[in-house]
Amino acid sequence: MNQYQVSPAEKKFIGSHILVAILALAVGSLFGPLQAFEHAGWDFYQYLKPFIKSYYQGLTVHGVLNALVWTTFFIMGFLTFLVIFGLKRQLKNPTLNKVGFWMMVVGVVAAAIPILTNQATVLFTFYPPLKANWAFYVGLTLVVVGSWVEGWGLFMTYAAWRKENPNERTPFVAFASLITAALWQICTLGVAVEILTMLLPLSLGLIDGVDPQLARTYFWFTGHPLVYFWLLPAYISWYAFLPRQASNSKMFSDSLARLAFWIFLVLSTPLGFHHQYVDPGVPPAWKFIHSMLTFGVFFPSMMTAFTVIASLEMGARKSGGKGAFGWIGKLNWSDPSVAAQLLAGILFFFGGMGGLTNASYNVNLVLHNTAFIPGHFHLTVATAVTLSFMGISYWLVPYLTGRKLWQPKWATIQAWVWFVGMIIFSNSMHVLGLLGAPRRVPLGLAPYVPAEWNSRLFQVGLGGAILFVSGAIYLLVMLKTATNKERVESEVIVPVADSLQDVAQTPEWLDRWAPWLYGTLALIVVVYGPQLVDQIANIALTSPGFRVW
Amino acid sequence: MAKKDKEEDEFRPTGTIAVLTVFVITLIAIWATIYAILVQRGGTL
């Protein structure tokens, strides 16, 4: 099978993203278990002084490096690969993409210095009036703007391809990647405005205070679609690669997949108020509207679940799979890339259930700011996304480096260990939340912990320890693969699945950008506009910055 | 090849429907459980 050959220079460029991502994951993951251990009463932070001064500094390192840096770099590298491979052409302006990448690297370094020197212990949500050193905000801005610049490079490449191929359907992997990049460009406007108009001026002493309500509104304009920026690249892999990897199957419906991505673009931004149900400054009617739109995202999510599972089932049936569930055993579970993504998908089912519960205007009151929330997002970003990215890297890194995956059996074990560790960790966090345990609190120090929490807090520590082992195995496999002297015999085949239908039959309206983009912007204006106008008109820069650590 | 194409044409995703049915039932059960907690707490915190 003759596949498009990505050039060595482009492979190196894509690999640079993956390298930074994995380094961030390595450092950030050192601190994840420390939070879990602290909950179980094993406080290792006391041994890290004077380098790491507090639980909150460790939590900031963990959140920023794992939730923001690992994901953003992996995604930008993966999207770049998918656009080049999908469109079968080189980047239109590789220098532009390189500029974007190096802006992101400089941004990470700029943000890391104040975090590691305890000048930016503001967690990954950096809610004001918590105040960080200005370099933290400049660094985050550079990461975001750098990713925009890389996105522009991808759009220019698409424009050049479209000019050369005016009547062709955009290949799915490139199409879905471009939508993901577009979603990111739109949604990050919120956090960009927050940093540039409030947080950076505050940290530089140009203003005396901030408006926390408006800042939170800006933040969640970005914060929820950020979840889809994380998830959509995993979805691309589930739609386009996993069917072939898991059961030598095809994508069940190209049209349905494209429609799902468009709906994600339209609906993922105008729903941020569902994170602000208890914010007093947002009127209930707007919260209700955002709540309804959040439930709207259930539909493309179910379309995705249907298409992906049907694609897998179709191949498994051909391999002799029987019964309502028996076909699942016929999937290629021995392939570490498959095992990781399937296990990620299974746990994501529960992440989806928790997400819908969080998004319910009334039920959210039981869960808000409890341990249920980190329990939930460890099923989404830390499993559906992270474990999928790990699975993708099990074929992508050999593809990029030309080196064989080191010990595939260990890679498979890694996926299963993550799965088991996350079940223990996340389940206990969910239950603790229902019992009233707050999030963002070093519960090992809390004097009010009732006896009924204790067994669950122990399970949090146990789950964290197992996850740490899995993370260590992953890093070992990646390190040994990158330095493996054994090279692949021939070019690694990119496991992209064909569509069941002829892609040329996909309706043209599913390959047109203008109506979907205008629709997205119009919906944002309608459901965010009046509140933003009101909050900006009544802005009160009266809350002085705090440093509470 | 022809046999495979026929299998694909005749494929009915019954297993997929079964999996998604289990998902929806579990989702409703979890949601209802937490709703019951809300009601037990008097509908408010």
Q: Per-10-residue mean pLDDT for chain A, 549 residues long?
A: 89 98 97 96 94 95 97 98 98 98 98 97 96 98 98 98 96 98 98 98 97 98 97 98 97 96 96 95 96 96 97 96 96 98 98 95 93 97 98 98 97 98 98 96 93 97 98 98 94 93 93 97 97 97 92
Q: Which residues on A lie below 8 Å from B19 (Cβ)?
A: 309, 325
The pLDDT confidence band at residue B1, using thresholds 50, 70 and 90, is very low
Q: How far apart are CA A108 and CA A504, in angstroms?
A: 42
Please say whether the beta carbons of A261 and A232 come within 8 A: yes
Q: What is the pLDDT of residue B42?
A: 84
The pLDDT value given to residue A548: 86
* Residue type (1 letter), A105: V
pLDDT of the residue at A1: 59
Contacts of A78 (CB under 8 A, 6+ apart): A14, A17, A177, A233, A389, A392, A396
For residue A475, give how far its alpha carbon lies from the nearest alpha carbon of chain B (Å).
Answer: 33
Nearest CB to A317: which of B11, B31, B34? B11
For helices A386-401 and A71-87, give the axis angle rounded to 10 degrees: 50
Contact A243, A315 (CB under 8 A): yes
Interchain pair A306, B23: CB under 8 A: no
Q: Is A305 exposed, middle or buried (0-12, 13-18, 19+ CB in 10 A)?
A: buried
Task: Using a CB–CB cutoff of 8 Å, tell me whether B42 touches chain A.
Answer: no
Q: List all residues 6 or more positions away from A138 whose beta carbon is below 8 Å from its beta carbon.
A: A107, A110, A111, A200
Number of residues that this document lists for chain B:
45
Q: What is the pLDDT of residue A490?
A: 85
Q: What per-residue confidence (pLDDT) applies to A546?
A: 93
The pTM (predicted TM-score) of the whole model is 0.96
Q: How far apart are CA A336 and CA A401, in angstroms?
A: 18
pLDDT of residue A2: 73
- List the Cα angle A116/A117/A119 in 5-degree steps: 105
**Chain B contact for A309 (CB, 8 A cutoff):** yes
What does the DSSP assignment read for A285-345? HHHHHHHHHHHHTHHHHHHHHHHHHHHHHHHHHHTT--SSSGGGGGS-TTSHHHHHHHHHH
CA distance B15 to chain A (A): 4
CA distances (Å), origin A493, targets A2, A229, A338, A364: 9, 26, 15, 46
Q: Tell me whether residue A258 is one of the annotated catalytic residues.
A: no
DSSP code string of A412-474: HHHHHHHHHHHHHHHHHHHHHHHTTPBSSS-TTT-TT--HHHHHHHHHHHHHHHHHHHHHHHH
C-beta of residue A25 within 8 angstroms of C-beta of residue A66 = yes
Closest CA to A495 of A336, A297, A366, A289: A336
- A324 and B34 within 8 Å at the Cβ level: the answer is no
